[in-house]
Chain A
Amino acid sequence: QKEVEQNSGPLSVPEGAIASLNCTYSDRGSQSFFWYRQYSGKSPELIMFIYSNGDKEDGRFTAQLNKASQYVSLLIRDSQPSDSATYLCAAMNRDDKIIFGKGTRLHILP
């Protein structure tokens, strides 16, 4: 089974600090990686995606990909209470299936 692994948390971060969310994947053939935010009782919302090694920035969010280490991360700068949610990491594997990790619960402390 090709898996995507995340620490379930909760990860508690003070307001205004940087939140760092991590994800590893087992399928070396995975092509692209996605970060979704999901509030309780709501559907997942795309934050950003990355498919090349290195960093990709979008506003307060930075995704980082290291294919050699099979590692993906999401940094959230200037964390706000509204960032409190579950963050789902997903990977498109070699079978063109998008598979989700179990998610990390993030709690921003006011």
Chain B
Amino acid sequence: EAQVTQNPRYLITVTGKKLTVTCSQNMNHEYMSWYRQDPGLGLRQIYYSMNVEVTDKGDVPEGYKVSRKEKRNFPLILESPSPNQTSLYFCASSPLPGTSAEAFFGQGTRLTVV
């Protein structure tokens, strides 16, 4: 089954404690992306990657890092989480934009930073 898997689904952590949210896709997609969703602000793109070792900033990259060492994985790293990073996070993958293909989204990670 084609899917994007995020882990963990729920996480409560303390300010400053480094964490990683994993994202894995099994569709051999080139393009992967991270979004955060906050009430009233819709989905905002954090980072995206067009292929292995190719990443770029989205609209709200501050406080986040990503890496793309393998095609299937695109972890989101918060080196020093702060309460304003409390949010619902989604990972997505698709073939490269422009190939008129749909994006698949993970089920989300609800992060709370206290």
Query: Do A and B interact with each other, yes or no?
Result: no
